[in-house]
Amino acid sequence: MKRLGFTMQLKPGYADEYKKRHDAIWPELKQLLKESGIHHYGIYLDAATHTLFATLEIEEESRYAALPQHPLMQRWWAYMADIMETHPDHSPISTPLKEMFYLE
């Protein structure tokens, strides 16, 4: 397993809506993420800066890298685009983070 961390930016005033949408994540999207080898996926909010911090573990980089081309992933991004900072294709603007410490 490989651990990844990254940040994304939530638009101000949308924390409750972001949480609501993720609490009701589409079952087929949840299944796709699992089938893509994603485990222990968590997203946290820094309410002062509207920064989202995500961590996850992946089984295979190639399976994870294929997600942006999947129509379901693209549909989710379009659904979330009104409340997050995104690229023109609606994918979230994210910044990868370098792991500096991990205690197992």
Q: Provide the whole-model pTM.
A: 0.92
Number of domains in the chain: 1
50 is an active site residue: no
At 66, which CATH number?
A: 3.30.70.100
Catalytic residue among 22, 39, 40, 87: 22
pLDDT category at 104 given cuts 50, 70, 90 is confident
Separation CA 33–CA 73 (nearest Å): 9
pLDDT category at 5 given cuts 50, 70, 90 is very high
Q: What is the pLDDT of residues 69-89, one digit of tens each?
A: 999 999 999 999 999 999 999
> Is the residue at 15 inside a domain?
yes
Separation CA 50–CA 20 (nearest Å): 16
Listed residue (88, 87, 52, 91) closest to 70, CA to CA: 91
